[in-house]
Structure 1
Protein backbone atom coordinates (compact mmCIF):
# COMPACT_ATOMS: atom_id res chain seq x y z
CA UNK A 1 0.00 0.00 0.00
CA UNK A 2 2.98 2.29 0.47
CA UNK A 3 3.67 2.17 -3.28
CA UNK A 4 -0.02 2.89 -3.93
CA UNK A 5 0.34 6.02 -1.81
CA UNK A 6 3.47 6.98 -3.73
CA UNK A 7 1.52 6.74 -6.99
CA UNK A 8 -1.23 8.96 -5.60
CA UNK A 9 1.50 11.35 -4.48
CA UNK A 10 2.63 11.83 -8.08
CA UNK A 11 -0.92 12.82 -8.99
CA UNK A 12 -1.14 15.33 -6.14
CA UNK A 13 2.29 16.79 -6.95
CA UNK A 14 1.28 17.19 -10.58
CA UNK A 15 -1.86 19.12 -9.63
CA UNK A 16 0.18 21.32 -7.30
CA UNK A 17 2.70 21.94 -10.08
CA UNK A 18 0.11 23.26 -12.55
CA UNK A 19 -1.52 25.17 -9.69
CA UNK A 20 1.73 27.06 -9.30
CA UNK A 21 2.14 27.54 -13.05
CA UNK A 22 -1.20 29.03 -14.06
CA UNK A 23 -0.22 29.70 -17.68
CA UNK A 24 0.55 26.03 -18.25
CA UNK A 25 -2.71 25.01 -16.58
CA UNK A 26 -4.72 27.12 -19.03
CA UNK A 27 -2.55 25.89 -21.89
CA UNK A 28 -3.32 22.27 -21.00
CA UNK A 29 -7.09 22.75 -20.75
CA UNK A 30 -7.71 23.32 -24.47
CA UNK A 31 -7.33 19.74 -25.80
CA UNK A 32 -9.51 18.33 -23.02
CA UNK A 33 -12.33 20.76 -23.77
CA UNK A 34 -12.40 19.78 -27.44
CA UNK A 35 -12.38 16.06 -26.64
CA UNK A 36 -15.03 16.44 -23.92
CA UNK A 37 -17.53 17.90 -26.38
CA UNK A 38 -16.98 14.97 -28.76
CA UNK A 39 -17.34 12.34 -26.03
CA UNK A 40 -20.36 13.98 -24.43
CA UNK A 41 -22.19 13.76 -27.77
CA UNK A 42 -21.20 10.10 -28.18
CA UNK A 43 -22.36 9.10 -24.67
CA UNK A 44 -25.66 10.93 -25.05
CA UNK A 45 -26.23 9.05 -28.31
CA UNK A 46 -25.40 5.76 -26.59
CA UNK A 47 -27.79 6.59 -23.76
CA UNK A 48 -30.65 7.13 -26.19
CA UNK A 49 -29.82 4.14 -28.37
CA UNK A 50 -28.80 1.52 -25.80
CA UNK A 51 -32.38 0.18 -25.43
CA UNK A 52 -32.78 -0.32 -29.17
CA UNK A 53 -29.33 -1.90 -29.41
CA UNK A 54 -30.17 -4.36 -26.64
CA UNK A 55 -33.52 -5.27 -28.21
CA UNK A 56 -31.85 -5.82 -31.60
CA UNK A 57 -29.14 -8.04 -30.05
CA UNK A 58 -31.63 -10.21 -28.09
CA UNK A 59 -34.44 -11.23 -30.49
CA UNK A 60 -34.78 -14.51 -28.60
CA UNK A 61 -36.26 -12.57 -25.66
CA UNK A 62 -39.12 -11.04 -27.68
CA UNK A 63 -41.58 -13.66 -26.51
CA UNK A 64 -40.53 -13.69 -22.87
CA UNK A 65 -43.24 -12.85 -20.38
CA UNK A 66 -43.16 -9.88 -18.04
CA UNK A 67 -41.23 -9.05 -15.92
CA UNK A 68 -38.38 -11.29 -17.13
CA UNK A 69 -37.95 -9.61 -20.49
CA UNK A 70 -37.74 -6.15 -18.90
CA UNK A 71 -35.37 -7.30 -16.16
CA UNK A 72 -33.07 -9.09 -18.60
CA UNK A 73 -32.93 -6.34 -21.19
CA UNK A 74 -32.73 -3.64 -18.53
CA UNK A 75 -29.70 -5.30 -16.94
CA UNK A 76 -28.12 -5.82 -20.36
CA UNK A 77 -28.74 -2.18 -21.30
CA UNK A 78 -27.01 -1.09 -18.09
CA UNK A 79 -24.03 -3.29 -18.92
CA UNK A 80 -23.84 -1.90 -22.46
CA UNK A 81 -23.78 1.66 -21.18
CA UNK A 82 -21.26 0.72 -18.46
CA UNK A 83 -19.04 -0.87 -21.11
CA UNK A 84 -19.32 2.27 -23.25
CA UNK A 85 -18.44 4.42 -20.24
CA UNK A 86 -15.51 2.11 -19.46
CA UNK A 87 -14.16 2.54 -23.01
CA UNK A 88 -14.80 6.29 -22.86
CA UNK A 89 -12.72 6.66 -19.69
CA UNK A 90 -9.82 4.75 -21.24
CA UNK A 91 -9.92 6.26 -24.71
CA UNK A 92 -10.61 9.80 -23.49
CA UNK A 93 -7.03 10.16 -22.37
CA UNK A 94 -5.64 8.63 -25.57
CA UNK A 95 -7.75 10.89 -27.80
CA UNK A 96 -7.05 13.97 -25.68
CA UNK A 97 -3.32 13.28 -25.76
CA UNK A 98 -3.47 12.77 -29.51
CA UNK A 99 -5.40 16.02 -30.04
CA UNK A 100 -3.15 17.89 -27.61
CA UNK A 101 0.21 16.27 -28.43
CA UNK A 102 2.08 19.58 -28.94
CA UNK A 103 0.41 21.12 -25.86
CA UNK A 104 1.16 18.28 -23.45
CA UNK A 105 4.64 17.65 -24.77
CA UNK A 106 5.55 21.27 -24.09
CA UNK A 107 4.02 21.03 -20.62
CA UNK A 108 5.94 17.83 -19.89
CA UNK A 109 9.19 19.43 -21.05
CA UNK A 110 8.58 22.36 -18.71
CA UNK A 111 8.09 19.96 -15.78
CA UNK A 112 11.40 18.28 -16.65
CA UNK A 113 13.05 21.68 -16.85
CA UNK A 114 11.71 22.71 -13.46
CA UNK A 115 13.07 19.49 -11.90
CA UNK A 116 16.59 20.17 -13.17
CA UNK A 117 18.87 18.12 -15.36
CA UNK A 118 18.47 17.44 -19.05
CA UNK A 119 15.19 17.93 -20.88
CA UNK A 120 14.88 14.95 -23.27
CA UNK A 121 13.58 15.61 -26.76
CA UNK A 122 12.49 12.99 -29.25
CA UNK A 123 13.98 14.85 -32.21
CA UNK A 124 11.14 13.52 -34.39
CA UNK A 125 8.87 15.64 -36.60
CA UNK A 126 5.36 16.24 -35.29
CA UNK A 127 3.69 13.94 -37.82
CA UNK A 128 5.96 11.09 -36.74
CA UNK A 129 5.21 11.67 -33.05
CA UNK A 130 1.47 11.71 -33.80
CA UNK A 131 1.77 8.47 -35.74
CA UNK A 132 3.66 6.72 -32.92
CA UNK A 133 1.19 8.02 -30.34
CA UNK A 134 -1.81 6.88 -32.40
CA UNK A 135 -0.24 3.47 -33.07
CA UNK A 136 0.58 2.85 -29.40
CA UNK A 137 -2.86 4.08 -28.31
CA UNK A 138 -4.47 1.59 -30.69
CA UNK A 139 -2.37 -1.20 -29.21
CA UNK A 140 -3.47 -0.20 -25.73
CA UNK A 141 -7.09 -0.02 -26.88
CA UNK A 142 -6.90 -3.61 -28.16
CA UNK A 143 -5.68 -4.73 -24.73
CA UNK A 144 -8.38 -2.70 -23.00
CA UNK A 145 -11.07 -4.09 -25.30
CA UNK A 146 -9.95 -7.64 -24.47
CA UNK A 147 -10.20 -6.99 -20.73
CA UNK A 148 -13.44 -5.10 -21.25
CA UNK A 149 -15.11 -7.99 -23.08
CA UNK A 150 -13.89 -10.43 -20.45
CA UNK A 151 -15.20 -8.27 -17.61
CA UNK A 152 -18.45 -7.67 -19.49
CA UNK A 153 -19.01 -11.44 -19.65
CA UNK A 154 -18.11 -11.82 -15.97
CA UNK A 155 -20.68 -9.15 -15.16
CA UNK A 156 -23.44 -11.75 -15.57
CA UNK A 157 -22.10 -13.77 -12.62
CA UNK A 158 -24.43 -13.15 -9.64
CA UNK A 159 -23.00 -10.99 -6.84
CA UNK A 160 -19.43 -11.17 -8.21
CA UNK A 161 -20.51 -9.36 -11.37
CA UNK A 162 -21.90 -6.45 -9.35
CA UNK A 163 -19.06 -6.15 -6.80
CA UNK A 164 -15.70 -7.67 -7.74
CA UNK A 165 -15.92 -7.12 -11.50
CA UNK A 166 -16.42 -3.32 -11.31
CA UNK A 167 -13.48 -3.05 -8.87
CA UNK A 168 -11.24 -5.01 -11.26
CA UNK A 169 -12.49 -2.84 -14.11
CA UNK A 170 -11.37 0.32 -12.33
CA UNK A 171 -7.95 -1.22 -11.67
CA UNK A 172 -7.55 -2.16 -15.33
CA UNK A 173 -8.65 1.33 -16.36
CA UNK A 174 -6.28 2.94 -13.86
CA UNK A 175 -3.26 0.93 -14.99
CA UNK A 176 -3.71 1.70 -18.68
CA UNK A 177 -4.57 5.32 -17.91
CA UNK A 178 -1.23 5.61 -16.11
CA UNK A 179 0.47 4.12 -19.18
CA UNK A 180 -1.16 6.61 -21.54
CA UNK A 181 -0.15 9.58 -19.40
CA UNK A 182 3.43 8.52 -18.67
CA UNK A 183 3.83 7.87 -22.40
CA UNK A 184 4.03 11.65 -22.97
CA UNK A 185 7.33 11.85 -21.07
CA UNK A 186 8.63 8.35 -21.84
CA UNK A 187 8.06 8.64 -25.58
CA UNK A 188 10.27 11.74 -25.60
CA UNK A 189 12.94 9.55 -24.01
CA UNK A 190 12.66 6.98 -26.77
CA UNK A 191 11.02 4.34 -24.55
CA UNK A 192 8.89 1.94 -26.61
CA UNK A 193 5.47 0.66 -25.52
CA UNK A 194 6.75 -2.78 -24.49
CA UNK A 195 9.36 -1.21 -22.20
CA UNK A 196 6.84 1.30 -20.80
CA UNK A 197 4.54 -1.55 -19.81
CA UNK A 198 7.46 -3.40 -18.22
CA UNK A 199 8.38 -0.34 -16.15
CA UNK A 200 4.82 0.10 -14.95
CA UNK A 201 4.39 -3.59 -14.11
CA UNK A 202 7.51 -3.28 -11.98
CA UNK A 203 5.71 -0.52 -10.03
CA UNK A 204 2.18 -1.88 -10.43
CA UNK A 205 0.82 -0.51 -7.16
CA UNK A 206 2.26 2.93 -7.88
CA UNK A 207 0.63 2.84 -11.32
CA UNK A 208 -2.70 1.93 -9.70
CA UNK A 209 -2.27 4.60 -7.04
CA UNK A 210 -1.84 7.15 -9.82
CA UNK A 211 -4.42 5.83 -12.28
CA UNK A 212 -7.34 4.50 -10.21
CA UNK A 213 -8.18 7.78 -8.37
CA UNK A 214 -7.85 9.57 -11.69
CA UNK A 215 -10.19 7.06 -13.35
CA UNK A 216 -12.78 7.55 -10.60
CA UNK A 217 -12.54 11.32 -10.83
CA UNK A 218 -12.93 11.18 -14.62
CA UNK A 219 -16.45 9.78 -14.08
CA UNK A 220 -17.54 13.22 -12.86
CA UNK A 221 -18.45 15.53 -15.78
CA UNK A 222 -15.84 18.18 -16.63
CA UNK A 223 -13.43 16.96 -13.94
CA UNK A 224 -11.28 15.13 -16.50
CA UNK A 225 -10.69 18.35 -18.41
CA UNK A 226 -9.46 20.25 -15.36
CA UNK A 227 -7.32 17.40 -14.06
CA UNK A 228 -5.60 16.57 -17.36
CA UNK A 229 -2.85 19.25 -17.18
CA UNK A 230 -1.92 18.19 -13.65
CA UNK A 231 -2.18 14.52 -14.61
CA UNK A 232 0.37 15.04 -17.40
CA UNK A 233 2.65 16.92 -14.99
CA UNK A 234 2.32 14.18 -12.35
CA UNK A 235 2.91 11.46 -14.93
CA UNK A 236 6.12 13.22 -15.99
CA UNK A 237 7.32 13.18 -12.37
CA UNK A 238 6.43 9.50 -12.18
CA UNK A 239 8.24 8.76 -15.45
CA UNK A 240 11.38 10.42 -14.11
CA UNK A 241 11.35 8.11 -11.10
CA UNK A 242 10.57 5.05 -13.22
CA UNK A 243 13.68 5.82 -15.23
CA UNK A 244 15.76 6.53 -12.12
CA UNK A 245 16.48 10.09 -13.20
CA UNK A 246 16.20 11.36 -9.64
CA UNK A 247 18.58 8.71 -8.28
CA UNK A 248 21.62 10.97 -8.42
CA UNK A 249 19.83 13.58 -6.33
CA UNK A 250 18.91 10.96 -3.74
CA UNK A 251 22.27 9.13 -3.54
CA UNK A 252 23.72 11.58 -1.03
CA UNK A 253 20.82 13.12 0.88
CA UNK A 254 23.25 14.59 3.45
CA UNK A 255 25.03 16.53 0.73
CA UNK A 256 21.70 17.75 -0.67
CA UNK A 257 20.61 18.88 2.79
CA UNK A 258 23.91 20.67 3.34
CA UNK A 259 23.53 22.54 0.06
CA UNK A 260 20.06 23.55 1.18
CA UNK A 261 21.42 24.82 4.48
CA UNK A 262 19.91 22.09 6.67
CA UNK A 263 23.19 20.58 7.92
CA UNK A 264 26.49 22.12 8.99
CA UNK A 265 29.67 21.37 7.01
CA UNK A 266 32.01 18.61 8.16
CA UNK A 267 33.96 19.58 11.22
CA UNK A 268 30.98 20.98 13.12
CA UNK A 269 29.84 19.79 16.51
CA UNK A 270 26.80 17.79 15.38
CA UNK A 271 27.98 14.31 16.31
CA UNK A 272 27.52 11.85 13.52
CA UNK A 273 27.61 14.59 10.89
CA UNK A 274 31.31 15.10 11.64
CA UNK A 275 32.06 11.77 9.93
CA UNK A 276 32.10 11.77 6.12
CA UNK A 277 29.32 9.66 4.62
CA UNK A 278 31.83 7.37 2.85
CA UNK A 279 33.30 6.45 6.23
CA UNK A 280 29.90 5.80 7.83
CA UNK A 281 28.68 3.64 4.93
CA UNK A 282 31.57 1.47 3.75
Structure 2
Protein backbone atom coordinates (compact mmCIF):
# COMPACT_ATOMS: atom_id res chain seq x y z
CA UNK A 1 0.00 0.00 0.00
CA UNK A 2 1.20 3.50 -0.81
CA UNK A 3 -0.48 6.86 -0.48
CA UNK A 4 -0.85 9.04 -3.56
CA UNK A 5 1.49 11.86 -4.51
CA UNK A 6 -1.02 14.59 -3.60
CA UNK A 7 -1.51 13.11 -0.14
CA UNK A 8 2.26 12.84 0.38
CA UNK A 9 2.72 16.46 -0.63
CA UNK A 10 0.22 17.44 2.06
CA UNK A 11 2.11 15.60 4.78
CA UNK A 12 -0.22 12.61 5.01
CA UNK A 13 1.49 9.54 6.49
CA UNK A 14 0.74 5.82 6.29
CA UNK A 15 0.83 2.97 8.79
CA UNK A 16 0.40 -0.31 6.89
CA UNK A 17 -0.29 -3.45 8.92
CA UNK A 18 -0.63 -7.10 7.96
CA UNK A 19 -3.40 -7.74 10.50
CA UNK A 20 -5.27 -5.80 13.17
CA UNK A 21 -8.51 -6.18 15.09
CA UNK A 22 -9.95 -3.06 13.45
CA UNK A 23 -8.25 -0.12 11.74
CA UNK A 24 -10.64 2.23 13.53
CA UNK A 25 -9.76 0.65 16.87
CA UNK A 26 -6.05 0.93 16.09
CA UNK A 27 -6.55 4.56 15.10
CA UNK A 28 -8.28 5.22 18.42
CA UNK A 29 -5.39 3.64 20.32
CA UNK A 30 -2.92 5.79 18.41
CA UNK A 31 -4.93 8.92 19.18
CA UNK A 32 -5.01 8.02 22.85
CA UNK A 33 -1.22 7.73 22.61
CA UNK A 34 -0.86 11.21 21.16
CA UNK A 35 -1.30 10.76 17.39
CA UNK A 36 -3.15 13.65 15.72
CA UNK A 37 -2.73 12.86 12.03
CA UNK A 38 -3.02 13.23 9.18
CA UNK A 39 -2.39 9.49 9.15
CA UNK A 40 -3.87 6.52 7.32
CA UNK A 41 -4.02 3.17 9.13
CA UNK A 42 -4.41 0.35 6.60
CA UNK A 43 -4.51 -3.39 7.24
CA UNK A 44 -4.47 -6.36 4.89
CA UNK A 45 -6.88 -8.16 7.24
CA UNK A 46 -9.12 -7.26 10.16
CA UNK A 47 -10.10 -9.82 12.78
CA UNK A 48 -12.86 -7.72 14.36
CA UNK A 49 -13.91 -5.27 11.68
CA UNK A 50 -16.73 -2.94 12.69
CA UNK A 51 -19.44 -1.23 10.73
CA UNK A 52 -22.00 1.37 11.71
CA UNK A 53 -23.95 0.81 14.97
CA UNK A 54 -21.49 -1.88 16.09
CA UNK A 55 -22.28 -4.26 13.25
CA UNK A 56 -19.67 -6.77 12.16
CA UNK A 57 -17.72 -5.89 9.03
CA UNK A 58 -16.30 -8.93 7.24
CA UNK A 59 -12.70 -8.23 6.29
CA UNK A 60 -11.06 -10.86 4.04
CA UNK A 61 -7.65 -10.32 2.46
CA UNK A 62 -7.77 -8.50 -0.86
CA UNK A 63 -10.30 -5.90 0.28
CA UNK A 64 -9.56 -2.38 1.48
CA UNK A 65 -9.64 -1.74 5.24
CA UNK A 66 -8.47 1.79 6.04
CA UNK A 67 -8.93 4.53 8.64
CA UNK A 68 -7.85 8.15 8.44
CA UNK A 69 -6.97 10.24 11.49
CA UNK A 70 -7.58 13.97 11.22
CA UNK A 71 -7.55 16.83 13.72
CA UNK A 72 -7.66 20.63 13.36
CA UNK A 73 -10.68 20.30 11.10
CA UNK A 74 -12.82 22.92 12.84
CA UNK A 75 -15.68 22.84 15.31
CA UNK A 76 -16.87 19.50 16.68
CA UNK A 77 -20.35 20.45 15.48
CA UNK A 78 -19.35 19.98 11.83
CA UNK A 79 -17.57 16.63 12.35
CA UNK A 80 -20.56 14.57 11.07
CA UNK A 81 -20.12 16.24 7.68
CA UNK A 82 -16.85 14.31 7.31
CA UNK A 83 -18.86 11.24 6.34
CA UNK A 84 -20.14 13.08 3.27
CA UNK A 85 -16.68 14.48 2.53
CA UNK A 86 -15.37 10.90 2.59
CA UNK A 87 -18.27 9.66 0.48
CA UNK A 88 -17.49 12.09 -2.31
CA UNK A 89 -13.79 11.22 -2.06
CA UNK A 90 -14.64 7.52 -2.35
CA UNK A 91 -16.74 8.13 -5.47
CA UNK A 92 -13.97 10.17 -7.08
CA UNK A 93 -11.43 7.47 -6.23
CA UNK A 94 -13.56 4.60 -7.52
CA UNK A 95 -14.39 6.32 -10.80
CA UNK A 96 -10.75 7.27 -11.28
CA UNK A 97 -9.42 3.81 -10.40
CA UNK A 98 -12.06 1.68 -12.11
CA UNK A 99 -12.83 3.89 -15.07
CA UNK A 100 -16.26 2.32 -15.41
CA UNK A 101 -19.07 0.81 -13.39
CA UNK A 102 -22.14 2.39 -11.85
CA UNK A 103 -21.11 3.66 -8.44
CA UNK A 104 -23.42 5.33 -5.95
CA UNK A 105 -23.88 6.51 -2.38
CA UNK A 106 -26.69 5.29 -0.14
CA UNK A 107 -27.43 7.67 2.71
CA UNK A 108 -25.77 8.02 5.08
CA UNK A 109 -22.63 5.93 4.62
CA UNK A 110 -22.85 3.10 2.09
CA UNK A 111 -20.86 2.79 -1.14
CA UNK A 112 -22.75 1.05 -3.92
CA UNK A 113 -21.99 -0.73 -7.19
CA UNK A 114 -24.88 -1.55 -9.52
CA UNK A 115 -27.33 -1.27 -6.63
CA UNK A 116 -25.43 -3.64 -4.33
CA UNK A 117 -23.31 -2.71 -1.32
CA UNK A 118 -19.67 -2.22 -2.23
CA UNK A 119 -18.40 -0.69 0.99
CA UNK A 120 -19.09 1.65 3.84
CA UNK A 121 -17.84 4.56 5.90
CA UNK A 122 -17.59 4.54 9.69
CA UNK A 123 -17.05 7.95 11.26
CA UNK A 124 -15.92 8.17 14.89
CA UNK A 125 -14.93 11.07 17.11
CA UNK A 126 -12.38 10.98 19.93
CA UNK A 127 -12.32 13.76 22.54
CA UNK A 128 -8.78 14.49 23.72
CA UNK A 129 -7.34 16.89 26.30
CA UNK A 130 -5.50 19.95 24.99
CA UNK A 131 -3.74 21.19 28.11
CA UNK A 132 -5.26 24.62 27.43
CA UNK A 133 -7.48 25.89 30.25
CA UNK A 134 -9.43 28.05 27.79
CA UNK A 135 -10.31 25.05 25.60
CA UNK A 136 -9.52 21.92 27.62
CA UNK A 137 -10.78 19.40 25.06
CA UNK A 138 -10.62 18.94 21.30
CA UNK A 139 -11.91 16.48 18.75
CA UNK A 140 -9.91 14.07 16.63
CA UNK A 141 -11.87 12.32 13.90
CA UNK A 142 -11.45 8.82 12.53
CA UNK A 143 -12.80 8.18 9.03
CA UNK A 144 -13.00 4.44 8.47
CA UNK A 145 -13.52 3.23 4.91
CA UNK A 146 -14.01 -0.36 3.79
CA UNK A 147 -14.33 -1.43 0.15
CA UNK A 148 -15.03 -4.90 -1.21
CA UNK A 149 -12.31 -5.15 -3.82
CA UNK A 150 -11.58 -8.87 -4.28
CA UNK A 151 -14.42 -10.46 -2.31
CA UNK A 152 -17.97 -9.70 -1.21
CA UNK A 153 -19.86 -11.62 1.50
CA UNK A 154 -22.75 -13.75 0.29
CA UNK A 155 -24.53 -14.46 3.57
CA UNK A 156 -25.96 -11.01 4.26
CA UNK A 157 -29.60 -9.87 4.34
CA UNK A 158 -28.82 -7.57 1.40
CA UNK A 159 -26.87 -7.93 -1.83
CA UNK A 160 -23.16 -7.13 -1.71
CA UNK A 161 -20.72 -6.83 -4.59
CA UNK A 162 -16.97 -6.53 -5.06
CA UNK A 163 -14.98 -4.56 -7.61
CA UNK A 164 -13.84 -7.94 -8.96
CA UNK A 165 -17.27 -8.10 -10.63
CA UNK A 166 -15.96 -5.52 -13.10
CA UNK A 167 -13.73 -8.18 -14.63
CA UNK A 168 -10.05 -8.32 -15.49
CA UNK A 169 -9.63 -4.56 -15.32
CA UNK A 170 -10.96 -4.29 -11.76
CA UNK A 171 -8.57 -2.25 -9.58
CA UNK A 172 -6.83 -3.78 -6.59
CA UNK A 173 -7.22 -2.53 -3.03
CA UNK A 174 -3.80 -0.85 -3.33
CA UNK A 175 -4.87 1.03 -6.45
CA UNK A 176 -8.15 2.15 -4.91
CA UNK A 177 -6.33 3.31 -1.79
CA UNK A 178 -3.79 5.39 -3.69
CA UNK A 179 -6.63 7.19 -5.49
CA UNK A 180 -8.63 7.50 -2.28
CA UNK A 181 -5.78 9.06 -0.30
CA UNK A 182 -5.43 11.79 -2.92
CA UNK A 183 -9.17 12.29 -3.34
CA UNK A 184 -9.74 12.75 0.39
CA UNK A 185 -7.11 15.49 0.53
CA UNK A 186 -8.89 17.21 -2.34
CA UNK A 187 -12.36 17.01 -0.80
CA UNK A 188 -11.07 18.12 2.61
CA UNK A 189 -9.57 21.19 0.95
CA UNK A 190 -12.95 21.99 -0.59
CA UNK A 191 -14.77 21.34 2.70
CA UNK A 192 -12.52 23.55 4.88
CA UNK A 193 -14.17 22.83 8.21
CA UNK A 194 -17.66 23.13 6.77
CA UNK A 195 -17.18 26.26 4.68
CA UNK A 196 -17.35 24.28 1.43
CA UNK A 197 -19.95 21.72 2.46
CA UNK A 198 -22.57 23.15 0.10
CA UNK A 199 -20.36 22.34 -2.90
CA UNK A 200 -19.66 18.81 -1.70
CA UNK A 201 -23.33 18.31 -0.88
CA UNK A 202 -24.21 19.00 -4.52
CA UNK A 203 -21.60 16.50 -5.69
CA UNK A 204 -22.78 13.92 -3.15
CA UNK A 205 -26.31 14.22 -4.50
CA UNK A 206 -25.13 13.39 -8.04
CA UNK A 207 -24.21 9.93 -6.71
CA UNK A 208 -27.19 9.49 -4.36
CA UNK A 209 -28.98 6.16 -4.74
CA UNK A 210 -32.76 6.50 -4.74
CA UNK A 211 -32.82 10.28 -5.16
CA UNK A 212 -36.28 11.32 -6.37
CA UNK A 213 -37.71 7.86 -5.76
CA UNK A 214 -39.89 6.42 -3.01
CA UNK A 215 -37.71 4.85 -0.33
CA UNK A 216 -38.13 3.46 3.17
CA UNK A 217 -36.04 4.48 6.18
CA UNK A 218 -35.81 2.19 9.19
CA UNK A 219 -35.71 4.23 12.40
CA UNK A 220 -35.44 3.05 15.99
CA UNK A 221 -39.21 2.67 16.48
CA UNK A 222 -40.75 2.91 13.02
CA UNK A 223 -40.11 2.66 9.32
CA UNK A 224 -40.92 5.79 7.34
CA UNK A 225 -41.76 5.85 3.64
CA UNK A 226 -41.54 8.83 1.32
CA UNK A 227 -39.86 10.36 -1.70
CA UNK A 228 -36.15 11.03 -1.25
CA UNK A 229 -36.05 14.77 -1.90
CA UNK A 230 -32.52 15.78 -0.88
CA UNK A 231 -30.09 16.08 2.01
CA UNK A 232 -30.19 19.38 3.83
CA UNK A 233 -27.37 21.76 4.72
CA UNK A 234 -26.46 19.55 7.69
CA UNK A 235 -26.53 16.27 5.74
CA UNK A 236 -29.89 15.12 7.12
CA UNK A 237 -32.16 13.11 4.84
CA UNK A 238 -35.28 14.95 3.67
CA UNK A 239 -38.33 12.87 2.72
CA UNK A 240 -41.60 14.01 1.21
CA UNK A 241 -44.26 11.92 2.98
CA UNK A 242 -48.06 11.93 2.95
CA UNK A 243 -47.85 13.98 6.17
CA UNK A 244 -45.43 16.53 4.75
CA UNK A 245 -41.66 16.89 4.85
CA UNK A 246 -39.84 14.55 7.22
CA UNK A 247 -36.23 15.23 8.20
CA UNK A 248 -34.26 12.20 9.33
CA UNK A 249 -31.14 12.51 11.48
CA UNK A 250 -30.14 8.83 11.46
CA UNK A 251 -31.56 5.62 10.04
CA UNK A 252 -31.11 2.83 7.50
CA UNK A 253 -32.31 3.51 3.97
CA UNK A 254 -34.13 0.56 2.39
CA UNK A 255 -34.24 0.53 -1.40
CA UNK A 256 -36.19 -1.78 -3.66
CA UNK A 257 -39.77 -3.11 -3.54
CA UNK A 258 -41.78 -2.61 -0.39
CA UNK A 259 -42.35 -5.85 1.58
CA UNK A 260 -45.93 -7.13 1.49
CA UNK A 261 -46.37 -6.86 5.26
CA UNK A 262 -43.77 -4.32 6.26
CA UNK A 263 -45.80 -2.35 8.79
CA UNK A 264 -44.76 0.89 7.14
CA UNK A 265 -45.44 4.10 9.07
CA UNK A 266 -46.10 7.14 6.95
Q: What TM-score, normalized by structure 2, do the two folds share?
A: 0.31
Q: Which has the larger radius of gyration?
A: 1
Higher RCO structure (Cα 8 Å, ≥6 apart): 1
The structure with the greater share of residues assigned to helix is 1
The structure with the greater share of residues assigned to strand is 2
Q: What TM-score, normalized by structure 1, do the two folds share?
A: 0.29
